[in-house]
Structure 1
């Protein structure tokens, strides 16, 4: 095996999702954030549609996102307690770097199937996670019911055919879990 292959295998097999509450400063520098986006740009992209875009959520906009999380909770649960609402708000302030991944699934030319475009979105996100891991940062994805909230669509100016997929959270891992047991290929691979 080449050194690149050994490094890639080690990187892929050691990556783990780190919860945002376990991510702290320092986060990536501006140059490192640019490298994360360059990694996303290397994702497979049939038709060169770039069926994804990413939105940085800077610190001075976290309060706006916190209100979206709170309003989304209140919309779906009129009986939410003040503690639950505050917990929803707090989620916007956890990770040093917060990025919304947006899937562009509306009509495009050439007409690449939606599922194929979602695969491209997933590859772009995974490339970013692996790139963050290679820089020794912790990273994790978060989503939830607020992703489909009209308040989320408004805040992020999502257009028709765009969907908020998940947040990418990046920072310095204050704690890591023990490596999880991964399935064996024989558990999920068959032959035609």
Structure 2
């Protein structure tokens, strides 16, 4: 098929041309309902997945659980850093409450006889982006974050994550207070090469 014969999905192209994360602190209620969350997760799951392993899963933090877990995270942070200022402690207490809903994408990548573990990890990353885009396609703002507690095994059980799993990202979802505006993007001349040229 020649380029001029290929159909263009104008809405999708426009979305990709303007896609932008909404900072978690710029999200407010309402957040997505449970049926909307389930629809987002169904859409997020439609990613390349060599071997059909589904090497990822989701943990949804909503309602009062966000504040409870955030307080526990703050307790851990203060125990490790007793000199934290009140402002720093306040940040820790709000880790999962900045957006109405936070969804952890949990990587279950593991050695496999046929599927490289790296491909499984990449699949989890694709889920993070798909979930972020699904939320935006449904009219919400979203932001893919990790932060210290994504990498701290001592809080894995608090977050509902098993020791052999890793957090690929926390997708924060809510209603944007404002349009986040544009940001600079890499110059294609700096990041593109054509093999043989």
TM-score by length of 1: 0.89
Q: 1:122, 1:21 → 2: CA distance?
A: 23
**Who is 1:118 aligned against?**
121
1:37 corresponds to 2:41: yes
The answer on whether the counterparts of 1:11 and 1:133 sit within 8 Å (CA) in structure 2 is no
1:110 is displaced (CA, Å) by 4.3
Structure 1, unaligned runs of 5 or more:
none
1:174 and 2:177 are equivalent in the alignment: yes
Q: Which has the larger radius of gyration?
A: 2
Q: In structure 2, what is the equivalent of residue 149 of structure 1?
A: 152
Structure (1/2) with the larger helix percentage: 1
Counterpart contact for 1:103–1:163, Cα < 8 Å: yes
**Residue 81, structure 1, aligned to residue 65, structure 2:** no
Task: Give how far 1:76 is off.
Answer: 4.3
Q: How many residues align structurally? A: 190
Rounded to whole Å, the distance in 2 between the matches of 1:186 and 1:48 is 36
Larger relative contact order, structure 1 or 2 (CA cutoff 8 Å, min sep 6): 1
Deviation at 1:151, TM superposition (A): 4.0
Task: Work out whether 1:15 is the aligned partner of 2:19.
Answer: yes
Output the TM-score relative to the length of structure 2: 0.87
Distance 1:42 1:167, change over 3 A: same
**1:44–1:120 Cα contact (<8 Å) kept:** yes
Unaligned 5+ segments in structure 2 are 1-5
Corresponding position of 1:96: 100
Q: Say whether 1:162 aligns with 2:184.
A: no
Q: Which residue of 1 aligns with 2:32?
A: 28
Structure 1 stretches of 4+ moved >6 Å = none
Q: Contact between 1:22 and 1:175, CA under 8 Å: does it hold in 2?
A: yes
Q: CA deviation at 1:106?
A: 2.6
How far 1:188 sits from its partner (Å)?
0.8
